[in-house]
Amino acid sequence: MKIAAVILLLISIGSLVAVAMALIFGGPSRPAAMQDINAPFRTVDYRDLPKLSHYPARDGSRLAYRRYPPTSGTAKGSVVLLHGSAGNSSTLHSLAKAHAEAGFMTYALDVRGHGASGTKGDIAYVGQLEDDLEDFLAAIDPAQPRTLVGFSSGGGFALRIAGSQRQQLFDHYLLLAPFVSQKAPTHRPDNGGWTSVGLPRYITLALLNRLGIDAFNHLPVLHYALNDDAASSLTPVYSFNLAQNYRPKPDYRATLKATNCPMRVLVGQDDQIFHAEQFEPVFQEAGRDVPVRRLTGIDHIGLILDTGAIEAIVAETQALNTGDSCQH
C-alpha cells in the first residue's frame, strides 16, 4: 500500500509539473510577418474615418464603435460590421463607407479585446462578446432590418451568433471568408502562416476548463503575423478567453445545423488563409442550403479592400435586405 501511495504521489507531482511547464513555457511564438495581409491596408484613405463613439456594456465598460450614416435618404436598414482577427473597426472603413453609400445605417465595432474596447487581447470570460453585442443593440437600437456582417474571425463569431439562441437579434447574416474551425476542411495549417498557436498551453487550458478551472484563461495562446507597425495599433496576441470566444463554438457542425436565419457566404477564390473551395461542402454537409460565392482574383484581405469585392459584398447585403428575414 505504501509503495502504491508513493507511486500515486509521484504521478500527481509529475502531472502538476507538466501542467506548470505547459502554462509557463507552452505559449505561442511570434510568426514571421505576413506581408500580403499587412501591406494592403497602407493604400486605404483614412482621412474621412469617423471618430469613435461608445456604448455602455453590462459590466460598466464603455466599448467603441464607428458610425456611418447613410449618405442620402432614409436608411433602408442597418448593417453591423465585425472585423477580423487582430483587427479593429478602422480595418473595415472601406466596406463601411460602401454600405453607407448604398443607403444602410452602418456600424463598425471595436470588438472587446481590440482597438479602444477593453483590455487589448483579452476578455473576462468566454461568452462576454455575445453579451457585448446584445448590449450594443440595446443601447443603439439600429434600424431594422438588421444584417450582421463578419469578416474572417468576425465571420466566425457572426456564425456563433447565428447558431445560438440569440440568432434572432439580426434578420440576416453575411459571412466573409469566415473562420469555421481548425477541424473543418476550410482550414489551412497555421491559417496559411497567419497564426502561431501555443499548443501545449492551449491544450492544457482546455483540459483545465473541462475540470472547471479557468483561473489561467488570461494567458496568451495565439500570436498573429503582424509587422511591427501594425502590431502597435492592432492586437497581435489573444488570450485563451478571447481565442475561444471570437469564433464559432468547438462543435461547428452543431452550430451550422442550428442556424435558421437567412445567410450568405462570400470568399475570395485566392484566399491564402482558408481553402475557398471547401466552404460550400462544409455548409452542405451540415444540411444548410447557404449560397456560397467565390470571387475570382480576390485573396483574403482583398475581400474587404478591393473595389469589385466590396461592390459584390454590398450587393449580397442588399439581396438579403430585400429577401426573407429571421422570424422575430
| φ/ψ of residue 86, rounded to 5 | 75, -10
The per-residue pLDDT for 129 is 98
The Cα–Cα gap between 69 and 72 comes to: 9
pTM beyond 0.85: yes
pLDDT attached to residue 74: 83
Q: What is the pLDDT of residue 36?
A: 87
E-only strand ranges, 99-241: 105-109, 146-151, 172-176, 195-197, 220-224, 237-239
Q: What residues contact 161, with CB distance under 8 A and at least 6 apart?
A: 130, 133, 148, 167, 169, 170, 173
In the chain, the domains with their CATH numbers are: 2-321 (3.40.50.1820)
Q: Give me the residues paired with residue 175 across strands.
A: 150, 265
Output the pLDDT for position 266: 98
Per residue in 191-218, pLDDT (tens digit) is 999 999 999 999 999 999 999 999 999 9
pLDDT at 10: 47
pLDDT the model gives residue 9 = 46
Q: What are 282-328's pLDDT values in tens digits?
A: 999 999 889 999 999 999 999 999 999 999 999 999 999 988 888 65
Q: Which residues of the chain have pLDDT under 50?
A: 1, 6, 9-10
Q: Are 147 and 79 in contact (CB under 8 A)?
A: yes
What pLDDT is attached to residue 12? 55
H-helix or E-strand spanning residue 310: helix 307-321
